[in-house]
Structure 1
Amino acid sequence: MAGLDPSPERPAEREAGARGRLAEGQARVVAALVARGEVPAGFDPARMAVQAASLVAKRRAVVARLRPDLREIAGAGYAREFAAYAAARTEPPTGYRADAEDFARWLRKRHPQSRWRRWIRRLSP
């Protein structure tokens, strides 16, 4: 029979392939949003940048609620400090509590001799 593929793909194999492609595409989108990865084809880079900034703002707000001492330490520079911290990471930690503790460690390393010294000594190891 002309035109038939001699090794037709079974429906389960097709589905597994489609799921794999979907997972790869989702991973590229997540990397673009949280790890400064390349914006996948078909996505508006400006909108992706807005969404990525929104996700950092959400993380920053949650960390401030979990660790108000960090917000107090940074004062008016809190948003700037958190943005620098987030930009220095290739991916956020798993969970907001881990994010808060990592931010505390990052602040201590970044400002070991700063005006925050008495506060920073009390932060997580």
Structure 2
Amino acid sequence: MSRADLARQQAELLQALLSDGPAPSGFDTSRLRVEANVLRRKHGRVLAYQRPEVAEALGERFGPLFAEFTASRPKRDTERSGAYADAFVEWLIANGHLPKPKRGLRARLRRR
């Protein structure tokens, strides 16, 4: 197998896991969905660790809102977790789930 073929297969697998893309040849679709859900929950835990103030402000709404966010905006394979956390915060603000931040937070979000 060439490097190009391997790279293509890896990209297809990442697409399936991160963006609900079609299962690559040789992979079981239902098992990939399970793994994709596990990966999303892991991203949620990492985000809650990185932005504890957001998780605290949302309380019980954190999990469902994060699931809603990831359904419309999956994490990209090249995206750092901090940038993804910032995108989630911006989505929460834009959709009225969190109040608009003070100027300092807005400036910090833009720097990332």
Offset of 1:87 from its aligned partner? 1.1
Name the structure 2 match of 1:99: 84
Q: Distance in 2 between matches of 1:88 and 1:29?
A: 19
Counterpart of 1:57 in structure 2: which amino acid?
A: R
Are 1:41 and 2:59 counterparts? no
2:70 corresponds to: 86
Listed as ranges, the gaps of 5+ residues in structure 1 are 1-14
Aligned residue in 1 for 2:101: 121
Which secondary structure does the structure 2 equivalent of 1:30 belong to? helix
In 2, the alpha carbon distance for the partners of 1:21 and 1:96 equals 28
Higher helix share: 2
Gaps of 5+ in 2: none
The one-letter code sitting in structure 2 at the alignment partner of 1:63 is L
RMSD: 1.8
1:64 and 2:48 matched: yes
TM (normalized to structure 1)?
Answer: 0.75
Count of aligned residue pairs for this structure pair: 104
The alignment-based identity, stated in percent, is 32
Q: CA deviation at 1:86?
A: 0.9
User: Structure 2-normalised TM-score?
Assistant: 0.82
Distance 2:75 2:22 in 1: 14
